[in-house]
Amino acid sequence: MSAQPTITALTFEQHSTGRGIGIASPRMSWKFAANDNTIQNWEQSAYDLEITRGSSTEDYHIVSSNSLLVPWPSRPLHSREIVRIRIRSYGGSIAAPTDWSAWETLECGLLKRQDWTAHAISHSVKQKEGPLRPLRFRKPFRIQSLMSVTRARLYITSLGVFQAYTNGSPVGDHFLAPGWTSYRHRLNYEVFDIAPLLHEGENIIAVEVAEGWYATRLGFHGGKRFIYGDEMALIAQLEIDSEHGREVIISDSSWKSHTSALISSEIYDGEVFDAREEVEGEGWTTNLFQDHSWCEVREIEFPKADLISPNAPSIRVTQIVKPVAIITSPSGKTIVDFGQNLVGRIRIPSLQVPQDTTITLTHAEVLENNELGTRPLRIAKCTDIIISSGRELQNWAPRFTFHGFRYVQITNWIPTLTNLHAEVLHTDLIRTGTFKSSHPMINKLHENATWSMRGNFLSIPTDCPQRDERLGWTGDIQIFAPSASFLYNTAGMLSDWLEDLSVEQLATEKGIPPFVVPDVLSDTWPCFPQAIWDDVTILLPWTLYQTYGDVQILARQYESMVTWLDRGVRRGNDRLWDDELFQLGDWLDPTAPPENPGNARTDGTFVADAYLVHVTRILGDISAILGHVDNAARYKDEYLGLKRRFQDKYVTKEGYLVGDTQTALALVIYFDLLDSESQIENAGARLARLVRKAKFQVSTGFAGTPIITHALCKVGYVQLAYRMLQEKTCPSWMFPITMGATTIWERWDSMRADGSINPGEMTSFNHYALGSIVNWLHKDVAGLVCATQYFS
């Protein structure tokens, strides 16, 4: 008799856990594990589903081979409802089912706005200028009998970022909650089980709130402050169920508040901690603390944004990195080298220096002339400051900021290799893909791309994690998404981000997406239509669908897609792009001067037109999948017409292009913009000649880099693609590795061969976009290509 597989990993929607889900009828998925090598070609034919709801049990037998995002069979859940679910499957050549899966618990969050009775509270005195000093809030409550408590849930969010405590213990292991969303429209909340932290008698809930992304300065040239609001606030709702009923402790005027011992805490500039203003230990978070000097809070207007339970996991510490060297610079500065460019913070387990000593920790990614290379940070200070009380400071780390760094310059304290370490921070996604070859430098390239992804997936997908920017640029994630979604399960995080993109885009009259999401630039840099960047509306949902098979992502984003293509694109008389509109195009072409990164060899309108034909075809396919028959036919006709006009405009009968560059040829080959075999053959041969002429150096920017090796392989020049990959002279993928890079750089020459930093204002050493080559490593080198419409 053949063995049956084991059911594992029962999950709900794209939610990271089963607690606090914000959907009343969540879809379910499960996987199979085979512990017996006799199990081959096994396929599910049906499954049993058992659901316990309160005291009742529901049983379902469903004939289906699907185990991915299967429909919820029962009546919709209601707020706070807790159910238990298990699955068993039928399949193979025997009639007996698999063993039941382990029971999984699913718990709904607060599904309706009226479920929230908490008020938004702030300090009694409104701060007039930024940076805003972080605030602390406290509320005592009593529990008569701990034995009678059956459930205790804290529903919490903030205008700013928060850390909550119950009876002196941190609530959760998250960082910078509730994360960054389009705060005008969507505000995440978190759900915590705090029952293990409660005790009989007097209890305390305490919360510290800092600016985070809500009120800090964001953007270029120092940024703009108070984009979303000019004061921080807490919204908390603690619900304790017991045998006697439900007690609800809400944030309201009965709470007390005080300014924090943190003088300031900003995303770009870092955190200033004055230990002289800190009470002994963390006493303010316990019931032993006397808060007589604290003041009453002030209730403020409740946010108009929808309160959302996010699908994405929280930001967490995911790795500890110890220093590898202590350096004394030529000017006598003390610099700690962690050996890896990372995103996170420093932790010092124990620190004791004389009272009033000011210790500074300044972070940077590189050294220049053996001194800390801070020029690429622009106006961002990236400096944490500790002012000593004279007492021992234990387990210090900044609470509400993060830095991109490999090196930390420290003043007024002597670091060693053992008295501090770095903590890596990012959205705690599940790792799903790895790559390893026999070539050490190719392995290093892949590792560098993974590090850059981790460092730039911190609540949202950002461009860089260090300078006065750190924004959710749409073009960067559009080209890197196929790579990212192989490396980690990005479905929850990126689908959440896409919802922000939609609300930002659809709130405008013209339906043009902002350059960055959440949008913090349009007040000073109004958005105008752009290929590649704005095409994220179509290409990112399509990538997620191909990777995860979630058709609801397509359905949810469909209005955004159609709005962009029908209203957002600025067209000329031929229905292609308006030639007069500036296009970012093949951004960061290696020949572009440092001060003008958009000055590429490939015409920007050519790039835009190629993308327009491509995304029109894809939107036709999406329309067909979703059953929008009329739109599917319309976009198919539009695609064929655009392709014909593109060929008339740019392609000779022999397949030669008006724009004869590596990027132009790669686009027409990879996007199937040519018809005849002779045209394709000639274009491939010309691309091969250009690659050889460039001596295998990269000649592409944002548009060409993700596809150049794919295109070479598509027309039979596989060995050229491999040779190009291994080129070590600049510009190439291997050049940064020869220079000691541990992440992907923004520019091919962010650091010059002589060790000097590129003079351009935009010079990041942690930018994943040019690392999109790893998608080719996964698909063409490793051969992991989906044989159907999506992976399942």
Segment 489-532, tens digit of pLDDT: 999 999 999 999 999 999 988 999 999 999 999 888 888 999 99
- Measure the CA–CA gap between 275 and 53, rounded to whole angstroms: 50
Q: At what angle do helices 718-726 and 440-456 cross, to 10 degrees?
A: 70
Strand, coil or helix: 348: strand
- Measure the CA–CA gap between 539 and 770, rounded to whole angstroms: 18
Confidence at residue 335, expressed as pLDDT on a 0 to 100 scale: 99
Question: Number of helices (H) and strands (E), helices first, in the chain?
Answer: 14, 35
Query: Which of the four pLDDT bands, split at 50, 70 and 90, describes residue 282?
Result: low
Confidence at residue 220, expressed as pLDDT on a 0 to 100 scale: 87
668, two tokens? 């027409």
Confidence at residue 458, expressed as pLDDT on a 0 to 100 scale: 98
- 44 in the Ramachandran plot: left (φ > 0), alpha (ψ -120 to 50) or beta? beta
Whether the pLDDT of residue 247 is over 50: the answer is yes
Whether the Cβ atoms of residue 427 and residue 311 lie closer than 8 Å to each other: no
Contacts of 744 (CB under 8 A, 6+ apart): 448, 449, 452, 736, 766, 767, 768, 769, 770, 771
- Measure the CA–CA gap between 158 and 235, rounded to whole angstroms: 6
Least reliable range by pLDDT among 91-100, 117-126, 185-194, 460-469: 91-100
Q: Would you give the DSSP letter of residue 535?
A: T
- Measure the CA–CA gap between 634 and 623, rounded to whole angstroms: 10
Whether the pLDDT of residue 590 is over 60: the answer is yes
* Other C-beta atoms lying within 10 Å of the C-beta of residue 682: 20
* Other C-beta atoms lying within 10 Å of the C-beta of residue 266: 23
Q: Which residues of 596-620 are buried (b: 16+ CB within 10 A; e: fewer)?
A: ebbebbbbbbbbbbbbbbbbbbbbb
Report phi then psi at 358, rounded to 5.
-105, 115
* % of the chain with per-residue pLDDT over 70: 99
Strand, coil or helix: 268: coil
What does the pLDDT look like over 548-559, one tens digit per residue?
999 999 999 999
Between strands 298-300 and 306-308, the pairing is unpaired
Report phi then psi at 325, rounded to 5.
-160, 150
Confidence at residue 3, expressed as pLDDT on a 0 to 100 scale: 77
Query: Residue type at 387?
Result: I
Whether the pLDDT of residue 66 is over 90: the answer is yes
Query: Which of the four pLDDT bands, split at 50, 70 and 90, describes residue 2?
Result: low
Provide the residue count of the chain. 792
Whether the Cβ atoms of residue 503 and residue 445 lie closer than 8 Å to each other: no
What does the pLDDT look like over 562-585, one tens digit per residue?
999 999 999 999 999 999 999 999
Between strands 169-170 and 367-368, the pairing is unpaired
Confidence at residue 1, expressed as pLDDT on a 0 to 100 scale: 44
Q: Which residues of 721-754 are buried (b: 16+ CB within 10 A; e: fewer)?
A: bbebbebeebbbbbbbbebebbbbbbbbbbbeee
- Measure the CA–CA gap between 363 and 342, rounded to whole angstroms: 11
Q: Write down the residue that tokens 């292609």 correspond to.
A: 576
Least reliable range by pLDDT among 38-52, 225-239, 664-678: 38-52
Q: Is the pTM of this model over 0.85?
A: yes
Strand, coil or helix: 567: helix
Whether the pLDDT of residue 232 is over 60: the answer is yes
- Measure the CA–CA gap between 204 and 164, rounded to whole angstroms: 11
116, two tokens? 């929230």
Least reliable range by pLDDT among 126-140, 418-432, 595-609, 650-664: 650-664
| Catalytic sites, residue numbers | 469, 746
Average pLDDT over the chain, rounded to whole? Answer: 96
- Measure the CA–CA gap between 742 and 74, rounded to whole angstroms: 50
Each as own residue / partner, the long-range contacts of residues 14-18 (CB below 8 Å, 24 or more positions apart, any chain) are 14/311, 14/491, 14/492, 14/495, 14/548, 14/550, 15/309, 15/311, 15/492, 16/311, 16/312, 16/313, 16/314, 16/428, 16/492, 17/313, 18/104, 18/105, 18/106, 18/107
- Measure the CA–CA gap between 627 and 632, rounded to whole angstroms: 8
What does the pLDDT look like over 4-57, one tens digit per residue?
899 998 999 998 788 999 999 999 999 999 877 777 888 999 999 999 999 999
- Measure the CA–CA gap between 20 and 41, rounded to whole angstroms: 37
- Measure the CA–CA gap between 737 and 429, rounded to whole angstroms: 26
What does the pLDDT look like over 326-358, one tens digit per residue?
999 999 999 999 999 999 999 999 999 999 999
Exposed, middle or buried, 439 (CB in 10 Å: 0-12/13-18/19+)? middle
Whether the Cβ atoms of residue 492 and residue 18 lie closer than 8 Å to each other: no
Confidence at residue 39, expressed as pLDDT on a 0 to 100 scale: 79
440: preceding bond cis by omega (within 30 degrees): no
Confidence at residue 120, expressed as pLDDT on a 0 to 100 scale: 99
Q: If you average pLDDT over residues 305-330, what whole number do you get? A: 98
Chain centroid, CA 285 distance in Å: 31
- Measure the CA–CA gap between 399 and 5, rounded to whole angstroms: 45
Q: At what angle do helices 536-548 and 474-487 cross, to 10 degrees?
A: 10
* Other C-beta atoms lying within 10 Å of the C-beta of residue 316: 16
C-alpha distances (whole Å) from 752 to each of 441, 697, 702, 737 are: 19, 15, 20, 12
Strand partners, 246: 241
Q: If you average pLDDT over residues 285-306, what whole number do you get? A: 95
Confidence at residue 741, expressed as pLDDT on a 0 to 100 scale: 98
Least reliable range by pLDDT among 88-102, 130-144, 425-439, 685-699: 88-102
Q: Would you give the DSSP letter of residue 617?
A: H
